[in-house]
Amino acid sequence: MPTKPVEKSQYDTRRDIIALPNHGLPVSEIVKETGASESTVYRAVAKYKKEGHVCYLPRSGRPSILSKAEI
């Protein structure tokens, strides 16, 4: 039975985007190489330059109804 192709996670895509400019590739080539949009490439590079990483950070949101002990 054929298996589904494994898609890259967003983190993997961003990591690849960050690695390619270090090799001197222009944005248009990075877009072709990764399949990401131009705006995604610019945002990932800007975030890396500002924060030094492309990891997800905790976000605020609705508090959990269950306590950690109940989970």
- Residues 56/11, Cβ–Cβ less than 8 Å: yes
- Residues 46/18, Cβ–Cβ less than 8 Å: no
How many angstroms separate the CA atoms of 46 and 33, rounded?
A: 19
4-56 pLDDT, tens digit each: 666 778 878 888 888 887 777 888 888 888 888 999 889 888 888 888 887 77
Q: Is the model's pTM score more than 0.75?
A: no
Residue 26 identity (one-letter amino acid): P
Please identify which residue in the block is written with the tokens 């949101």.
61
How many angstroms separate the CA atoms of 57 and 44, rounded?
A: 14
